Structure 1
Amino acid sequence: MLLPVVLAGGSGSRLWPLSRELMPKQFLTLHGDKSLLQSSLIRLSGISTAKPLVICNEEHRFIAAEQIRQLNLLDKNIILEPSSRNTAPAITIAALYAMQRGEDPTLLVLAADHVFSNVSAFKQAIHTAKPLAENGLLVTFGIKPSTPETGYGYIKQGKILNDCVNAYLVKQFIEKPSIEQAKQLLLDSDVCWNSGLFMFKASTFLNELAIYRPDILLHCQNAVAQTLADMDFIRINKELFINCPAESIDYAVMEHTQSAVVVPIESEWSDIGSWSALWELGEKDTLGNVQYGEVLQHNSHNNYVYSESGLVATIGLENTIVIQTNDAVLVANKDHVQQVKEIVQTIKEQGRSEHYTHRQVYRPWGQYDIIDQGDGYKVKRITVLPGEKLSLQKHQHRAEHWIVVSGLAKVTLDTVDQTLSENQSIYIPIGCIHALENPGPELLELIEVQSGRYLEEDDIERFTDRYGRC
């Protein structure tokens, strides 16, 4: 059995301001009409696999679940990583969980944020790798370099396994090089980019890990021994897992094992690691511009311009990235986009919130958009999905006024339930226990006006919650 394991952690800070900690790049629609996570799963169509195991951060669980549900692949198959510990522990958790169910599947380890231009070549590489993995080899996948890229690791191919199989022994893993080294590597026909994708039997990987990093294996074994089912999520023991060393699979196993082989994928590929990568992938006009949303460009060349809301216009701009969201604008030279991470770090140091969340915030029951805020007040537009319900809760520091824009709202105020329709409103005093539900078949939209001396999201005391939040 081939079991896809999709690594969907990470913050994607180099794609700020679209990518935020609460909505990182793997859940965004950046290329095509599906999110990067969904595209990674759709790419497997036509390959005989089990339903995927998706590993993601606790904070992203409901976003991941909804996107997987839309593809009809949701089946209690999301492992929640209590803390990001890099790829080796994440893959170890998946392997142990599969073995715990009495299985020893062949794991196809995928990243949630990769793009392949040639899906047929991707599938052919999987077909090539499967018998190798089933025979005890640890397969990694390589991409033929097209540019002297300094952001990727490289693999030096050794001897071909045999004349009938497009697979090679791994001679050497090469760290991310300098630009001079990358230019030299580009000239070597036996060198490929390290894609970070893998295939091996669960037992094979765990046996190799026991040899080279038994400490990681032990921590993960202890954490997975105490799994807990929670709706569509699989929870492992947080206290035991956070003490696990953070390590990549390359450092932990692949650079040491004698059983590593590389299968080339004959396709253009990107891990969407920067805005310039998206410009490379995008459909360009006659002047080399890529644009999304309401954009006007005059005498402008080779730009990537993204407008989330409103009109963005450029004049005489060249080789530039312009990203406009509801609460932030990024303007950067295309050759310096790797420095976006430094801007994000500065935002954190200044105590701002733009690195963490968008103005629009997704919840398991729907979403809200912060329309306006100031000293002592905040205004939200709240959308509740049909049949969904917010937690029964109260606030210590704020009062709320709800006005229904469309749909039906079932409101619990202390012990009294009432139903509100369009243009009706209700006031929730400070300290009042309340809940909001959409009992109708259509979206519920309402305006919430908060007032008080403290208006942050942690001023919520929950009593009951169908989504298991505390």
Structure 2
Amino acid sequence: MIHPVIMAGGTGSRLWPLSRQLNPKQFLKLTDSPLSMLQSTVARLEGMDTDTPLLICNEEHRFLAAEQMRQSNQEDVQIILEPCGRNTAPAIALAALQLCQSAGDENPLMLVLAADHLIQNVNAFQQGVTKALPLARQGKLVTFGIVPHQPETGYGYIHQGTELAADCFSVDEFVEKPDLETANRYLASGKYLWNSGMFLFGARDYLAELETHRPDIVTACKAAMSDASEDLHFIRVNSELFAECPSESVDYAVMEKTDKAAVVALDAGWSDIGSWSALWDVSEKDQNGNSLAGDVIVHETANTLVRADSRLVATVGVDNLVIIETKDALLVAHKDKVQDVKTIVEQIRNDGRHEHMNHREVYRPWGVYDSIDNGARYQVKRITVKPGAKLSVQMHHHRAEHWIVVSGTARVTNGEKTYLVTENQSTFIPVGQVHSLENPGVIDLELIEVQSGSYLGEDDIVRYEDRYGRK
């Protein structure tokens, strides 16, 4: 049996304003599929002899990841939480240690996948994994190299060596991102593959090679995992011990040093969708080369990507642009300059703004809220609470709250009193009052919250009790 390990970290800043720090691209629906990138990664395993996926994600994304896995019918999923990013070699080591812990003397096979890749030909992907299985069982550390169809300067390459089986090769070397002339030479040779960052190997085989080449990483990860705790779906490693782990990619730490590397050539419509132009490349287009999503009207427009999330977007007489609209931000960029979007994100961060952090809509383990209006001493939110869900028992030092139920039924704790509030009814929570909100019904609870006070930040919350393990 194969044990899928899905790495769901990262922030995807080059896909701003859709991708945000607290809601990055792996959790977004970027293509025509109704599934997020993470959910699509899980879906392409269907029909294979695989165990429930093991996820690795950032602490701040834990509830988003768990909810998307629940929607994918992966109720038994385990999610390893990284308290801080330490790159792919330590992340994979944590997963390998977790798998070995419950495998006895066995050497569980890990299929390491990124949560934010697009693979258009699922059958070809699954056939590639099947080809890799004999090599992995022989102790090889197998990576998947993408057959290039164009010179690409944005990816690292793998120089394939001796043929081991059909589409399977030893690895001569890993090479860095080339310039255009070198990329053309690689393409013409037919001996180079794009480095996809996907792997298949035995968990113990990986740990043994990591121990050989980077024992400091193994030592740190073992220490962090030895003091791990489990909470709901989550495996929490010791944050202080993991913070001491060196940050290193799996390529630098292991794959470029080991003599056990092998590569399977994969031609499956792969893309890492690392930029808006990459998304345009793989999207369906009209007769003028436009890829359009949402409420969009175009006139004399060509070769342009337009995505409208919340309002009408119209274009006249433009070519080769990217236009991305969300509720709180608008990006207009030339397709040739989309790699520079990350500089805009950095400027937003440096200016002390918040548009790089989250969307107007913010997901919580109990549901979602949308900040629909705000001013100097007030803020208005539309709150949706899932059936059976409950916000924490909490108190605010600086704000009062007025709740108006739009649909459903709310069970409100307001100081010493607990009561129901139904559609078209309201209640008031004074400053400093201990309170909570719960949906006891079987349909979503929708309400409008009006906050008023001298400070309305999300950090003005004192939690007394929380069923989701938040501090």
Same fold at TM > 0.5: yes
Instruction: Tell me if 1:99 matches 2:97.
Output: no
Residue 10 of structure 1 aligns to a residue whose secondary structure is coil
Give the aligned partner of residue 112 of structure 1.
Answer: 115
Give the deviation of 1:130 after TM superposition.
0.8
8 A contact 1:381–1:448 mirrored in 2 = yes
Counterpart code for 1:179: L
TM-score, length of structure 1 as denominator length: 0.98
1:244-301 Cα distance to aligned partner (Å, 9 max, x none)? 1111000000000001010011222100100011111111011110011000000000
1:369 deviates by 0.2
What secondary structure sits across from 1:80 in the alignment?
Answer: strand
Equivalents in 1 of 2:181, 2:274: separation in Å? 21
Q: Report how far residue 183 of structure 1 moved.
A: 2.3
Structure 1 residue aligned with 2:173 = 172
Cα distance in 2 between the residues matched to 1:135 and 1:184? 33
Task: Kindly provide the amino acid, as one letter, of the partner of residue 10 in structure 2.
Answer: G
Give, in whole Å, the separation in 2 of the partners of 1:266 and 1:280: 16
| TM-score normalised by the chain length of structure 2 | 0.98
Distance (Å, rounded) in 2 between the aligned partners of 1:435 and 1:419: 12
> Which residue pairs with 1:14 in the alignment?
14
Segment drifting more, 141-150 vs 292-301: 141-150
**Deviation at residue 36 of structure 1 after TM alignment:** 0.3
Contact 1:76 1:231 survives alignment (8 Å): no
| Equivalence for 1:293 | 294
Is this contact kept in 2: 1:156–1:170, CA < 8 A? Answer: yes
The one-letter code sitting in structure 2 at the alignment partner of 1:25 is: K
Matches of 2:334 and 2:277, distance apart in 1:
9
Q: Give aligned-pair identity as a percent.
A: 58
What displacement does 1:166 show?
2.1
Cα offsets for 1:332-378 (capped at 9, x unmatched): 00011000000000000000000001000000100000001111111
| CA apart distance, 1:76 | 4.4
> Residues of 2 paired with 1:57 and 1:132: CA distance?
32
| TM superposition shift of 1:104 | 2.4
Letter in 1 for 2:269: E
The one-letter code sitting in structure 1 at the alignment partner of 2:85 is: S
**How far apart are the structure 2 equivalents of 1:319 and 1:110?**
32
Letter in 2 for 1:111: A
**In the alignment, structure 1 residue 143 sits paired with structure 2 residue 146:** yes
Please give the alpha-carbon distance, in whole angstroms, between the structure 1 residues aligned to 2:416 and 2:284: 56
What secondary structure sits across from 2:281 in the alignment?
helix
Partners of 1:84 and 1:12 in 2: how far apart? 14
Structure 2 CA distance for aligned equivalents of residues 179 and 426 of structure 1: 64
In structure 2, what is the Cα distance between the partners aligned to 1:149 and 1:300?
27
Instruction: Tell me the amino acid that sits aligned with residue 229 of structure 1.
Output: E
**Aligned-partner SS, 1:26:** helix
Cα distance in 1 between the residues matched to 2:101 and 2:237:
13
2-structure distance, mates of 1:319, 1:267 = 27
Query: 1:70: Cα distance to partner?
Result: 1.2
Cα displacement string for residues 414-465 of structure 1 (whole angstroms, at most 9, x for unaligned residues): 1210111111111111100000001111111111111111111000000000
Residue 147 of structure 1 deviates from its aligned partner by 2.1
- Is this contact kept in 2: 1:76–1:234, CA < 8 A? no
Instruction: Specify the SS of the correspondent of 2:9.
Output: coil
Are 1:205 and 2:206 matched, yes or no?
A: yes
Match of 2:134 in 1: 131
Q: Secondary structure at the match of 2:196?
A: strand
**Residues 136 and 201, structure 2, Cα contact 8 Å, conserved in 1:** yes
Partners of 2:419 and 2:455 in 1: how far apart?
28
Match of 1:241?
A: 242
AA partner of residue 117 (structure 1): Q
Give the corresponding residue for 2:383: 382
- Distance between the aligned counterparts of 1:181 and 1:131, measured in 2? 33
Residue 196 of structure 1 is matched in structure 2 by 197
Moved more, 35-44 or 266-275: 266-275
Give the Cα separation in 2 of the matches to 1:281 and 1:132: 31
SS at 2:189 equivalent: coil
Counterpart mapping for 1:198-277 below 5 A = 198-277=199-278
- Is 1:359 the counterpart of 2:360? The answer is yes
The correspondence of residues 288-367 of structure 1 with structure 2, limited to 5 A, is 288-367=289-368
TM-superposed CA distance for 1:178, in Å, is 2.0
Match of 1:154 in 2: 157
Tell me how far apart the structure 2 counterparts of residues 128 and 86 of structure 1 sit (CA, whole Å): 28
Q: What amino acid does structure 2 have at the position aligned with 1:396?
A: H
Deviations 1:39-77 (CA, angstroms, capped at 9, x unpaired): 001001111011110101111111111111112113141
Give the corresponding residue for 2:396: 395
**Secondary structure of 1:129's match?**
helix
SS in 2 for 1:127: helix
Contact 1:125–1:265 (CA under 8 A) maintained in structure 2: yes
Tell me, what secondary structure is at the counterpart of 1:314?
Answer: strand
Deviations 1:70-92 (A, max 9, x none): 12113141111111111000000
Query: Shift in Å at residue 309 of structure 1?
Result: 0.6
Distance 1:402 1:53 in 2: 39
